[in-house]
Structure 1
Amino acid sequence: MDPLHDDLLAGVRDVSPLMLGIVPFALVAGIAAVDAGLGLAEAVGLSVIVFAGASQLAALDLIGSGAPLAVVVGTAVVINLRMVMYSASIAPHFARYARGVRAGIAYFLTDQAHALSVAEFGASDDRSRALYYLGAAVSLWIVWQIGTVAGVVVGAGVPDAWGLTFAVPLVFLALLVPAMKDRPTTAAGVTGGAVAVVAAGLPLNLGLLVGAVTGIVVGLLTEGRSR
């Protein structure tokens, strides 16, 4: 078998166990889109353009509550600031590729693809890094889009009395708790959550944005003190 083909399949294989968490997350994102009043085309468009679960759910929650577009976009950007750090971390591994290739690679960047790829690149120098990364990242993208569409279709036929949208805050908790591994991340999570709850009544639905920014600042300050 072609070694390059092996590298692509290796990325698909390594990411496969993570799909158990991606599928229900994507379903919840689709259901949340329906709850926010989006149609299938709008939900899929948001999913394809943004392709970031946590910020999609936050944006959908704000859209559903009638927040201004600037607040929706600002909140999504703040939540996705971690992608800047991921990009800086993984960029040296793709430095030899053309700018257009790197731009395509950047679009598919996710928490899972970054973590798998950096670990694999550190363990082996023999693989085609772009193919391994794309094997993992594009697989995630495909499953995410299919799951989102399925969530929209299912959500459109589910009675409100079933309360499936309650799964949205549960998903956020499932993302938050494992990420609180040390003092800075714990301080950021606790502070950001508390401020978001207290600031929930702010005009223009700015509570979530204020909470996210406060959490990031507290996390950075705590990390600085630890060092």
Structure 2
Amino acid sequence: MDSRLPPELRDGVRDAFPLLLGVIPFALVAGVAGVEAGLSPLQTVGLSVVVFAGASQLAAIDLLGRDAALGVVVVTVVVINLRMLMYSASIAPYFRDLSARVRAGCAYLLTDQAYALALARYTGDRELRRPYYYLGVAVTLWVVWQAGTVVGVVFGAAVPDGWRLGFAVPLVFLALLVPAVSDAPELATAVVAAAVAVAGAGLPFNAGLLAGAVVGVAVGIAADALLPGSGDGADATEGHR
């Protein structure tokens, strides 16, 4: 990679690469789904560029394929993406010195993956205020997502049937989770939450996923209070911040 690029930008690109194992099949499926739902190739790619959010993009494609009202499509996309409000509020302090135009660009590029990696990097280095790391991650994901969507549109018939979202989406978030687990309470939280979610996979309304999140948080709080040394680690982290 060009050594003239800011080192934080290069780090962001590098850290985004492990996530591509899940992003690429996800993008391919999004491209295929758009064409199969009756959208033209241009409409499918345009939707990908405008929305740039995997879950809501697929929801929009499904609704458009069912001839749902445009208002229903818009409301559905907005509701699915409401979590981005929390992400934005959380990461905004690191971008406060940037111009409104640059902040708007960062907001457009915001994804679960870019948020998670950038927040972990910025909270670990309070002196790092420039957006280069975030942009390294976010732009890499954007380029690969759009390219994957185009490939899915053009070569949809050649995309293996086994490359479904049941594989791609968990892989993306697993790639985010593993580097974030750094101590015993976090490991306990991840393991218990995953076990409860898997055990409740057959429950209606994704109740198993919700139960996993709630139980995982409770276990994490308990483990942080009870396991030896976990409190010291937390205090040290707060002191560093």
TM-score range, shorter chain: 0.7 to 0.9
CA RMSD of aligned residues (A): 3.6
In the other structure, the counterpart of 2:132 is: 131
Structure 1 residues 74 and 97: alpha-carbon distance in aligned structure 2, compared to 1, 3 A threshold = same
Q: Which amino acid aligns with 2:164?
A: A
State the Cα distance separating 1:129 from its structure 2 match: 2.9
Cα separation, 2, equivalents of 1:99 and 1:145? 25
Q: Which amino acid aligns with 1:18?
A: L
Quote the sequence identity (%). 51
Cα separation, 1, equivalents of 2:66 and 2:170? 23
Cα separation, 2, equivalents of 1:80 and 1:12? 24
Contact 1:9/1:132 (8 A) holds in 2: yes
Work out which of the two has the higher radius of gyration on C-alpha atoms and give 1 or 2: 2
Moved over 4 A (4+): 175-183
In the other structure, the counterpart of 2:147 is: 146
Q: How many residues align?
A: 199
Cα separation, 2, equivalents of 1:105 and 1:215? 33
State the Cα distance separating 1:62 from its structure 2 match: 1.4
In the other structure, the counterpart of 1:11 is: 12
Cα separation, 1, equivalents of 2:96 and 2:87? 15
Q: TM-score, normalised by structure 1?
A: 0.73
Structure 1 residues 176 and 109: alpha-carbon distance in aligned structure 2, compared to 1, 3 A threshold = closer
Cα separation, 2, equivalents of 1:137 and 1:25? 16
Cα separation, 2, equivalents of 1:109 and 1:9? 18
State the Cα distance separating 1:66 from its structure 2 match: 2.1
Cα separation, 2, equivalents of 1:172 and 1:194? 22
In the other structure, the counterpart of 1:69 is: 70
Cα separation, 2, equivalents of 1:177 and 1:136? 15
Q: After superposition, what is the alpha-carbon deviation per residue over 1:117-143, rounded to whole angstroms, capped at 9, x for unaligned?
A: 011111224545311111110010000
Q: TM-score, normalised by structure 2?
A: 0.69
Cα separation, 2, equivalents of 1:81 and 1:134? 22
Unmatched 5+ stretches in structure 2: 178-188, 222-241
Structure 1 residues 166 and 94: alpha-carbon distance in aligned structure 2, compared to 1, 3 A threshold = closer
SS in 2 for 1:44: helix
Contact 1:108/1:137 (8 A) holds in 2: yes
Cα separation, 2, equivalents of 1:5 and 1:172? 31
Cα separation, 1, equivalents of 2:72 and 2:155? 28
